[in-house]
Amino acid sequence: MASAAASPLGFPAVWLRHNCPCPDCRDPVTGQRLVDITQLPNGPWATVTAEFADSIEVTFAPEGHRSVFSRAWLAASALPDTDPDADADGDARTEDGKALWRAAERVEAPTLVLFGSHDRLVSPALAVPAARTFKNAHVEVLPRIGHIGQMERPDLVAARFREMVDKAGMPGGGTRLTPDELTST
Bridge partners (DSSP) listed for residue 150: none
Q: Does 20 bind Zn ion (CB under 5 A)?
A: yes
Interface pattern 149-168 for Zn ion (x via CB under 5 A)? --------------------
Q: Does 40 bind Zn ion (CB under 5 A)?
A: no
Q: Does 13 bind Zn ion (CB under 5 A)?
A: no
Q: Does 34 bind Zn ion (CB under 5 A)?
A: no
Q: Does 148 bind Zn ion (CB under 5 A)?
A: no
Q: Does 5 bind Zn ion (CB under 5 A)?
A: no
- Comparing CA positions, the residue from 57, 52, 77 lying closest to residue 67 is 57
Pairing label, strands 111-116, 65-70: unpaired
Instruction: Among 4, 22, 109, 159, indicate the residue that binds Zn ion (CB under 5 A).
Output: 22
How far apart are alpha carbons 5 and 1 in whole angstroms? 9
Q: Does 145 bind Zn ion (CB under 5 A)?
A: no
Q: Does 68 bind Zn ion (CB under 5 A)?
A: no
Query: Cβ of residue 65: shortest distance to Zn ion, in angstroms?
Result: 6
Which residues have a Cβ under 8 Å from the Cβ of 78 and sit 6 or more positions away? 10, 94, 96, 97
Q: Edge-to-edge strands of the sheet including 45-51?
A: 45-51, 55-61, 65-70
What is the contact surface with Zn ion in residues (CB under 5 A)? 20, 22, 24-25
